[in-house]
Chain A
């Protein structure tokens, strides 16, 4: 009779746990008390020890599954043993294929382990059996070549050798996909900044009712103004960039349309008094968003200086937590790559809107009945429809367009 592994109760208040990582594979031989898997609760991570000695016949709970205490996680038993799970509803069944073949054979919905392990009696010599146990090999997977199909010592040795070769191949990152149909890859751990980005993006995607509005705007005036600002620079003074000017202009637009500068906090929509603009900075291995505080109260030169300092710190990996917190709106600029017109940026929660900047393209447009060529820049405003409707977003874009077309007042404000 197979022994059930269950979600343990690790503390008085624990009601459920998450399977973090299995430390053993199906088919592995385990000793009683040996570490089987790691589980976590909101507070701690802990290791579950094997309740019995034998083969890990079946893993029911997949990594990442959250289960109540007492829920079955897997089974330990004799090699080839059939698991009786008649009266238990397993929370997950990751092996649909086998389940379907089994159910056609057994209408009573009895779950079994892999087909080839259903054989109850396996002929194996004593020395081969011992070797299999020593090497943690599930001998029921071995095809015996001895008389009557008995598994011999040589069979176990060959199986172990093959297993070792297979694992080596699997671990060899450099090896190209071969004709066995096994995909070869390099595994990069999904941890650190990558994981933080992933978690934030998916969470935002999941909670926000996201809408994106696209438009394009003539930036010829903005370019002129920028040229003027940057004329006659002293040695050591940096040029003001287009992004920096847009940070300043967006801050002005948010002053005019404060209902875009909002944040949803369960029961309240917080209309933020500060206008703190995050600027997305691409790094080799990810993305960070340093925040320029109180942009509306700072001069273009001050904003420019601060953005430059933050971007440099970001690239050097020296941003402090304070410098990344407190944003009320974010700008993300893909225009410099010259490839993207419009896109649908994901809102940097708990903010409610984000402005994506596309490339600037010399485009024939009609001005005063004349076809003229103008530098047209793509704008994509993503906003959270839970708190911002389409019309106010469109109004905000209209304000923004007019400010970009006539930037002097915004820049001077």
Chain B
């Protein structure tokens, strides 16, 4: 085990995969000379050269476009779109090219690319730089979507994403940049589609991903003081979804609270709730609860932004409403 930060885990995982496989390269805005906004690619240009760490123009379409072509020809690009908000600019390349080509060409090509991007409010970056749009990419057959909440999960999931022969949206969270944690050394792969029970419990299942996992864990500790023993599941992979883990947990607890940072309306929590209502109906001892953001853009005002983001208290209230 090595102690490292979330950012260091991103950097080190990329370095390891680039050392292992010469087909892996990085492309994105300021990934080279700058080493990325938070240092996620710092030093990689020097180590691997400009052929494999490509500073691109400010054109998200160009980044994804070159990635799709390179992937189709056998390379394994890591494409960096700093904030998920910018994905709107390159959606045609993601939606109509990256996720579709393998199907449309009858499996003759593979598109083994990774799009690394960040979600999340909480740093005063306002409505266009704070969104959690991961649900967009779960509505896209052919695309996998994963979200890492810890440095260890960064290593395991990013390694798996780079080695996957399909396009993978790799969702990071900007507020977790300095989060430190133990990371397994050597080759460490977390299979995509495998949820992680981050806290064992018996009374209620709190399900989340990305930064919200930490708020759920904190809420669970507070609830434990009041005699409610919550199980916290980090789904880690939105698509494919580890239904078995969710339903097994529900079989034990009978209650489900889904927590995500994105707005509630058409958030990925809706998909999970629908799946549970369908496949886990007989396990339910209470209605399924969602805790998510109000249906508004992320406010710029720090006071309102703090109110907008799901808090530990809101999670606790939602859990208590089921008892």
B48 to chain A, nearest CB (A): 54
How many Å from the CB of B255 to the closest CB on chain A?
Answer: 9
Cα–Cα distance between A152 and B203 once the two chains are bound (Å): 12
Known: A127-B254, A146-B323, A147-B321. A152 touches B285 (CB 8 A): yes
Structural contact, A127 and B322, CB atoms closer than 8 A: no
Q: Give a binary string over B308-323; 1 marks a CB under 8 Å from any A CB, 0 the rest.
A: 0000000000000111
Residue in B254, B321, B322 whose CB lies within 8 Å of A153: B254
Contact residue among A126, A147, A153, A154 (Cβ-Cβ distance under 8 Å from B281): A126
Residues of B in contact, count (CB < 8 Å): 10
- Chain B residues with Cβ below 8 Å from A153 are 254, 285
For B321, the chain A residues whose CB sits under 8 A away are 147
Indicate whether B91 reaches chain A with its CB closer than 8 angstroms. no
A150: which B residues are within 8 A, CB to CB? 286
A165 at the interface (CB under 8 A from B): no
Is A125 part of the binding interface, using a Cβ–Cβ cutoff of 8 Å?
Answer: yes
B281 cross-chain contacts in A, Cβ below 8 A: 126
Q: Are A152 and B286 in contact (CB under 8 A)?
A: yes
Interface residues in A, total, Cβ within 8 A: 11
Shortest Cβ distance from residue A150 to the other chain B in the assembled complex, whole angstroms:
7
Please name the residue on chain A nearest to B321 by beta carbon. A147
The reply to whether the CB of B245 lies closer than 8 angstroms to some CB of chain A is no
Q: Are A125 and B284 interface neighbours, CB within 8 A?
A: yes
B282 at the interface (CB under 8 A from A): yes
Q: Are A147 and B286 in contact (CB under 8 A)?
A: yes
A130 within 8 A of B: yes
Please indicate the chain A residues that have their CB under 8 angstroms from the CB of B283 in the complex: 126-127
In this complex, what residue of A is CB-closest to B280? A126
Contact B282–A126 (Cβ < 8 Å): yes
Closest Cβ of chain A: how far from B284's Cβ, in Å? 5
| A24 CB to nearest chain B CB (Å) | 25
Decide yes or no whether A141 CB sits under 8 A from chain B: no
Q: Are B322 and A128 in contact (CB under 8 A)?
A: no
Complex formed: what's the CA distance from A153 to B283 in Å?
Answer: 10
Report the nearest A residue to B251, measured CB to CB.
A127
A364 vs B114: C-alpha distance in the bound complex, in angstroms? Answer: 125
CB within 8 Å of A: which B277-323 residues: 281-286, 321-323
Q: Which residues of B contact A125 (CB under 8 A)?
A: 254, 284-286
The winner among B283, B286, B322 for most chain A CB atoms within 10 A is: B286
The complex places the Cα of A147 from the Cα of B281 at a distance, in Å, of: 18
Q: Is A126 within 8 A of B284, CB to CB?
A: yes
Give chain A interface residues in 134-164, CB to chain B under 8 Å. Answer: 146-147, 150, 152-154
B 227-285 contacts with A by CB, 8 A: 254, 281-285
The distance from the CB of B212 to the nearest CB of chain A, in whole angstroms, is 23
Most chain B C-beta atoms within 10 Å of own C-beta, residue among A126, A150, A153: A126
CB under 8 Å from chain B, chain A span 271-314: none
User: Residues of A contacting B286 with CB < 8 Å?
Assistant: 125, 146-147, 150, 152
Which residues of B have CB within 8 Å of A147? 286, 321-323
Scan residues 388-407 of chain A and give those whose CB is less than 8 A from a CB of chain B.
Answer: none
Interfacial chain A residues near B285, Cβ < 8 Å: 125-128, 146, 152-154
Instruction: Give complex CA distance A130, B285 in Å.
Output: 10
Output the residue of A127, A128, A130, A152 with the most chain B CB within 10 A: A127
Measured in the bound complex, the distance between the Cα atoms of B284 and A127 in whole Å is 5
Residues of B within 8 A of A130 (CB): 282
Assembly CA distance A127 to B286 (angstroms)? 9
Q: Which residues of A contact B282 (CB under 8 A)?
A: 126-127, 130
Which residues of chain B are near A146, meaning CB under 8 Å? Answer: 285-286, 322-323
- Tell me the chain B residues, 95-139 only, with Cβ under 8 Å from chain A: none
CA distance A125 to B322 in the complex (A): 11
A143 CB to nearest B CB, Å: 16
Q: Which chain A residue lies CB-closest to B284?
A: A126
B310 to chain A, nearest CB (A): 21
Chain A, Cβ-Cβ closest to B283: A127
- A150–B254 alpha-carbon span in the complex (Å): 14
Cα distance A119–B321 when bound, in Å?
Answer: 25
Residue of A nearest to B322 (CB): A147
> What's the Cα separation between A150 and B286 when bound, in Å?
8
Looking across the interface, which residue of chain B has its beta carbon closest to that of A127?
B285
CA gap between A222 and B124 in the complex, in Å: 124
**What is the minimal beta-carbon distance from A119 to any residue of chain B, in angstroms?**
20
Determine the chain A residues whose CB is within 8 A of the CB of B322 once the complex forms.
Answer: 146-147
- The distance in angstroms between the C-alpha atoms of A299 and B124, with both chains bound, is 126
Residue on B nearest A156 in the bound complex, by CB: B285
In the bound complex, how far is the Cα of B318 from the Cα of A182, in angstroms? 44
Interface residue ranges of A142-199 to B (CB < 8 Å): 146-147, 150, 152-154
A54 to chain B, nearest CB (A): 19
In the assembled complex, which residues on chain A have CB atoms less than 8 Å from the CB atom of B323? 146-147
Measured in the bound complex, the distance between the Cα atoms of B254 and A117 in whole Å is 26
Give the complex CA separation of A22 and B283 in angstroms: 34
Shortest A138–chain B CB gap in Å is 19
| Cα distance A150–B321 in the bound complex, in angstroms | 12
What is the bound-complex CA distance between A147 and B282, given in angstroms? 18
Query: How far is B323's CA from A277's CA once the two chains are assembled, in angstroms?
Result: 79
Per the bound structure, the CA–CA distance linking A128 and B281 in Å amounts to: 11
In the bound complex, what is the Cα–Cα distance between A384 and B285 (angstroms)? 71
CB-contacts of B66-97 with A (<8 A) = none
CA distance A152 to B323 in the complex (A): 9
Rounded to whole angstroms, the CA-CA distance of A128 and B282 in the bound complex is: 8
Tell me, in angstroms, the Cα distance from A78 to B282 when the chains sit together.
Answer: 18
Alpha-carbon separation in the docked complex, A108 to B206 (Å): 53
Contact with A along B121-163 (1 / 0, CB 8 A): 0000000000000000000000000000000000000000000
Q: Which residues of B contact A127 (CB under 8 A)?
A: 254, 282-285
17 A–B contact pairs at CB < 8 A? Answer: A125-B286, A126-B281, A126-B282, A126-B283, A126-B284, A127-B254, A127-B282, A127-B284, A127-B285, A130-B282, A146-B286, A147-B286, A147-B321, A150-B286, A152-B286, A153-B254, A154-B285
- Give 4 closest A-B pairs by Cβ, nearest first: A125-B285, A153-B285, A127-B285, A126-B284
On A, residues with C-beta under 8 Å from B are 125-128, 130, 146-147, 150, 152-154
Known A150-B286, A152-B254, A152-B285; further 9 A-B contacts with Cβ < 8 A: A125-B284, A126-B281, A126-B282, A127-B284, A146-B322, A147-B286, A147-B322, A147-B323, A153-B285
Query: Which B residues are closer than 8 A to A by beta carbons?
Result: 254, 281-286, 321-323
